[in-house]
Each structure stands twice: as C-alpha cells, then as structure tokens.
Amino acid sequence: MEAVREVESLNPIYDGRKESEGKSDWTLLGPLWPQLEEVVRRLEHGVNKYERNNWMRVEPLQYYRAVMSHYSKMAGGEWIDPDSGFSHASAIICDALFIMWQKENLNADEKRESELQEGVQKGSQVETGQTRSSGTKQSEKGVGFGSWGPPRSRSYRPVK
C-alpha cells in the first residue's frame, strides 16, 4: 500500500479520499496472476470434463485424497499432471479452494439442520458445543463433512 500512496502523492490531481481500511488488498496477488490464470484454466478443464460447478456435488473426502495424491506426485518429482496437462500444484490449489468452500457452506447447512432437528426434539434452542446423543461435542466432529476429516477437538495435537 505504501507504493500506491507514494504514487498518489506525486500527482496533485488526486486530492480525494477513498476509505480502504479493513478491506482486502487484492494488489498483493499482482505477481501471482500467471499462476492464478493456470488455476482458472484448470477449473475450465474441469468444466469441459464434467460440468460447471460439479465440484460442489462431490464428496468432500475425495478432495482430501486428491490433495494428497497430487502432493505425492510432486514430491516424487512429477510436476505436470498427465491427465490435465497442468501442474499438480494448480490441482492442489483448486482442491483446497473446494475444501474451503464446502467446509464453510456445507458445515453451515449441516449445523442449521442439526440445530433445527435437536431444537424440535427438545423443544428448546440448541447451544453450540452441546453433547450429542453419541456423546461427542460438535467441536469434536471432523471438518463439518460427517465423521471423516481431521479431528477438531481441543485434545488434538499434530505430531511434530
């Protein structure tokens, strides 16, 4: 942002103000446009191979598997995915974006549905973190896609 302010201060025509506090600085992606373009081309490849937004209907666990598969290919020295002709790195980025979207959107729907059902059964509002009939708390459930995924309980600590 300093470089932008510096350029603006050199031109006396620009004496107005534009509030940008707290807004995302998309200019940070500037040097990454070629890589982002490959990600978009890979998404277009997926549209041609399957259909637009097909990824929204794929079981989320498949994206965790795909990330690990593409990563292992890269770690083994294979940079280009022979299936698509794009880098394995672009596949990992796409899969990670799909995971993020599904976690935010599917988890929200799942939580609302769960709260609705539990509220109807008990006749009261459901508190976050309430113990379920299985004895687990919501926070101990995977990443919001059912019983699979990395654990999220407070007792979980990654192995160093």
Give the count of alpha carbons within 13 A of 7, CB side only.
3
CA distance 143 to 12: 52
Give 73: exposed, middle or buried? Use CB within 10 Å, 0-12, 13-18, 19+.
middle
- Is residue 1 one of the residues assigned to a domain? no
Query: What integer pLDDT is reported at residue 142 of this predicted model?
Result: 39
- Is residue 70 one of the residues assigned to a domain? yes
- Is residue 158 one of the residues assigned to a domain? no
* Domain membership of residue 68 as a residue range: 30-108
Query: What integer pLDDT is reported at residue 13 of this predicted model?
Result: 77
Give 15: exposed, middle or buried? Use CB within 10 Å, 0-12, 13-18, 19+.
exposed
Query: What integer pLDDT is reported at residue 111 of this predicted model?
Result: 65
Say how many domains are in the chain.
1
- Is residue 68 one of the residues assigned to a domain? yes
- Is residue 11 one of the residues assigned to a domain? no
**HEC per residue, 42-83:** HHHHHHHHCCCCHHHHCCHHHHHHHHHHHHHHHHCCCCECCC
Please give the chain's pLDDT, 160 residues, in tens: 555 555 555 666 777 777 778 889 989 999 999 999 999 999 999 999 999 999 999 998 999 999 999 999 999 999 999 999 999 999 999 999 999 999 988 866 566 666 666 666 665 444 444 444 444 333 333 344 443 344 343 333 334 4
- Is residue 44 one of the residues assigned to a domain? yes
Asked if residue 144 lies in contact with residue 107, where contact means CB atoms within 8 angstroms, the answer is: yes
Asked if residue 65 lies in contact with residue 57, where contact means CB atoms within 8 angstroms, the answer is: no
Query: What integer pLDDT is reported at residue 139 of this predicted model?
Result: 37
Asked if residue 88 lies in contact with residue 74, where contact means CB atoms within 8 angstroms, the answer is: yes
Whether pTM > 0.75 for this model: the answer is no
- Is residue 160 one of the residues assigned to a domain? no
Asked if residue 39 lies in contact with residue 93, where contact means CB atoms within 8 angstroms, the answer is: yes
Give the count of alpha carbons within 13 A of 61, CB side only.
6
Tokens at 152, concatenated? 């999220």
Asked if residue 94 lies in contact with residue 43, where contact means CB atoms within 8 angstroms, the answer is: yes
- Is residue 133 one of the residues assigned to a domain? no
- Give one word for 124, left, alpha or beta, with left for phi > 0 and alpha for psi -120 to 50: beta
